[in-house]
Structure 1
């Protein structure tokens, strides 16, 4: 019999936490993700199903809404659905049940790594990481950008609090870029 131990994207048994100056970078593994893409001529039904699932209006371009299940906009009639893994391990199945044949749903939980950046100097760090104008991002904003040559999503959770999603296969590179930017900016 095997004694398997779950590890985070950075290879630890506990999430990695880095503090530099006033900014904290926290690896956040406890997230379930699923992507949703509306099928042709079923866009309205998909939006309605996603809205019902997240308990809020389906997010528009550059936004995220909902809670505890949220959705953020990833493209025309496409969203990423996020929920706590502890209570929504089967998120993709739940999303598929809600959208039925109106959308294509794909499990994304192990495809992405999430780093939460918090603190007074977080905007200076983000300015070094990407070309996003994070100073104009208010709570509820979401955007796709390139960080360290990786396609990433940045969500503004609150003033001074951001989440960065990047490819799990490049978690080490993304983490290195974030920590290097923290050391450089602070």
Structure 2
């Protein structure tokens, strides 16, 4: 007979341990190096807004029943925003264009099954095993350049009267 799973919090508990991927909020608490006391995260604001990673962060807990509103843009530091950007896998620019992370090769500007190249043309994206080095060089960019390519592509298509994105 299988044992019943352990409860997330025992009766009378006032906290729950953060799970991997939870967003760290100002009222969460981190275990201090002495492993006996907890410190509110506001005393170390650099971690606010980051995703909790057990391998990187000390154990952290959150008061039970505590509902946090999402952090506003103003509550993030520039370093935290940069960190959040590094965790993103895609950015929806509008209804037709998405900037998608393609691993070590960089970012692609995607329009359905096509990718936008350096000449601001949408070209069919072959299966990964069929992508040539030339294709990758034309369609993979650093993130800032991908946003620039997307903006230019949209402006170019609107000027021609072809663009239907929103």
Normalised TM-score (structure 1):
0.29
Higher share in strand: 1
Normalised TM-score (structure 2):
0.31
Q: Which structure is richer in relative contact order (CA contacts within 8 A, separation 6 or more)?
A: 1
